[in-house]
Amino acid sequence: MATARKAPRMVAIWAVVVVVVVVAADLFGAAVARSASARHAVGKKQREFDYFALALQWPGTICASTRHCCAINGCCRSEPLQTFTIHGLWPDYDDGTWPACCRHTSFDMDKILPLKPTLEKYWPSLYCSSSSTCFSGKGPFWAHEWEKHGTCSSPVVKDELEYFTTALDLYFKYNVTEMLASGGIHVSNGKQYALTDVIDAIKCAFGASPQIVCKKGSVEELRLCFDKDLKPLDCLTTTATNENVSKKKYCPRYITLPTYDPIVHANSTREIITVESEVYGYLYTS
């Protein structure tokens, strides 16, 4: 009799397990399909993009997980980074997908040599590993961003130098760290801010809604979107309501902009050449 009474519970448990496995498989399958689609697109003609996303990283969230330092990692500098830094300028499609690796061209550091000091300061790698490039190679963080995204930025951006110059111009013109500060949102190791307040501060200063990616309740990335004339544009996933932003990007109602304590590398004062591996967001990987 005892066995008979337990049978329904066992059936229910197995039903839950099956549902979880099916959902996990669907999510994994979708991720694999998107990855396969991106690989399939490499080197093939792709349609023109619809808008730009300027992706910015919050070092306080990313660098807090640094355990082993190296001279090429911006997180390992003696002075902690306390402003948003550039991840990349990404041409995207309105349907949530994006072009990638549109031309078979290699990154050439000599073409952007005058920008190197500025790039090292405001567009550093926050990792020690090398980045993948479009055609089965490895290289600096900047090489990854140019080959994967910059080559798809035509006709707005026509060459490597213009790609990095355009990204830097937008970064300085629309200073997100200052926008948030003007709205009372400051760097703080513990103070929480309402997600809606963070979004409203950006909308007030920038004129359009951002995209926000969180990690364990802290801002990891913030993205500003632009039309092809480089005018502010509502980001694709934030055009409905502020509540929708939280749901779409898995940010809680209250978020933080944390600081971090750098692990200083012995040779961190020497010239830094930035390299980085992929950074994965909640909505898409870039």
Helices 242-249/195-206 angle, 10° precision: 120
What single letter denotes the amino acid at residue 127? Y
Give mean pLDDT, residues 203-223: 96
> pLDDT at residue 211 above 70?
yes
Q: Which of 130-144, 150-164, 243-257 has the lowest mean pLDDT?
A: 243-257
Instruction: Specify the pLDDT at position 188.
Output: 85
Answer whether 163's CB lies under 8 Å from 153's CB.
yes
145 is catalytic: yes
- Domain residue ranges in the chain: 50-255
Of 1.10.3210.10, 3.40.50.1820, 3.90.730.10, 3.40.309.10, the CATH number of 50-255 is 3.90.730.10
Banded model confidence at residue 267, pLDDT cuts 50, 70, 90: low
> pLDDT at residue 238 above 70?
no
SS3 label, residue 13? helix
How far apart CA 103 and CA 155 sit, in angstroms, is 13
Among the listed residues 48, 68, 79, 87, the single catalytic one is 87
Among the listed residues 144, 145, 147, 265, the single catalytic one is 145
- Angle at CA 279, nearest 5°, toward 69 and 222? 105
pLDDT tens per residue, range 12-65: 434 433 333 333 333 333 333 334 444 445 556 799 999 999 999 999 999 999
pLDDT tens per residue, range 95-126: 999 999 999 989 999 999 999 999 999 999 99
Banded model confidence at residue 3, pLDDT cuts 50, 70, 90: very low
Answer whether 170's CB lies under 8 Å from 54's CB.
yes
Among the listed residues 144, 147, 149, 160, the single catalytic one is 149
CB atoms within 10 A of CB 119: 19
The pTM for the full model equals 0.76
